[in-house]
Amino acid sequence: MTNVKLAVIFYSMGGTNVQLAKWAAEAAEEAGAEVKIFKVQELAPQSVVEGNEGWKRTTEATKDIPVVTSADIEWADGIIFSVPTRFGNMPSQMKQFLDMQGGLWASGKTVNKVVSAMSSAQNPHGGQEATILSLYTSMMHWGAIIAAPGYTDPALFAAGGNPYGTSVTVGEDGKMKDDVQAAVKHQAKRTVQVAEWVKKGQQ
């Protein structure tokens, strides 16, 4: 039984990254971690959200999931991020949350957090890898430890073979084109395992 505390933090407009986050949380709990799921604060105008049926539906479906705070980052030993791509980068909603963690960073409270990330896009080469790498750049500045999945399990190949983090292609109908559930679960369990190693090494 591990004593790892894991935060799964997502941003989602169409629901894909909500599902990825839930799969990650399930697997982390199976691995014995204490898990909390969070969303980042929505920055888009309410009128824009309301005007998009899928976006509106996702907002309604996630209304009971708490918005992540700095205290949640401080609490966690490990963090899994799940975000869609926005022109090859993480969404501005996630970027703003990360940018607001200067106080934690300055006090050394982001150091040695074990992190991993997942992404989605409408095209196989629509920026999925670049999105994860853009998030990892911030994590390097945090002094965090990146637990990328690499090719540590056959599930990664079945999911498209992204070594940086699980990524999925989503069709215009909003449905995932790739079977990534096993890859997400492997990535989550690997993140918990690495976080456990780090935590034990610090004790």
Give the pLDDT of the chain (203 residues) as one tens digit per residue: 569 999 999 999 999 999 999 999 999 999 999 999 999 999 999 999 999 988 999 999 999 999 999 999 999 999 999 999 999 999 999 999 999 999 999 999 999 999 999 999 999 889 999 999 999 999 999 999 999 999 999 999 989 999 999 999 998 888 888 899 999 999 999 999 999 999 988 76
pLDDT of 12: 96
pLDDT of 203: 63
Tokens of 95: 């970027």
In the chain, the number of structural domains is 1
The SS3 assignment for 167 reads: strand
Residue range(s) defining the domain that contains residue 135: 5-202
Q: In sequence order, which residues have a C-beta less than 8 Å from that of residue 71 and are 6 or more positions away?
A: none
Tokens of 108: 């050394």
Q: Tokens 């996702």 map to which residue?
A: 58
Task: Return the CATH number at 80.
Answer: 3.40.50.360
Q: Which of 148, 175, 174, 176 is nearest to 162 (CA)?
A: 148
Q: What is the pTM of this model?
A: 0.96
CA distances from 5 to 37, 112, 152, 163, 171 (A): 11, 13, 23, 24, 34
Phi, psi of 132 (to 5 degrees): -65, -45
Dist. CA 143–CA 166, nearest whole Å: 22
pLDDT of 201: 87
Dist. CA 78–CA 73, nearest whole Å: 9
Burial category of 32 from C-beta neighbours within 10 Å (exposed 0-12, middle 13-18, buried 19 and up): middle
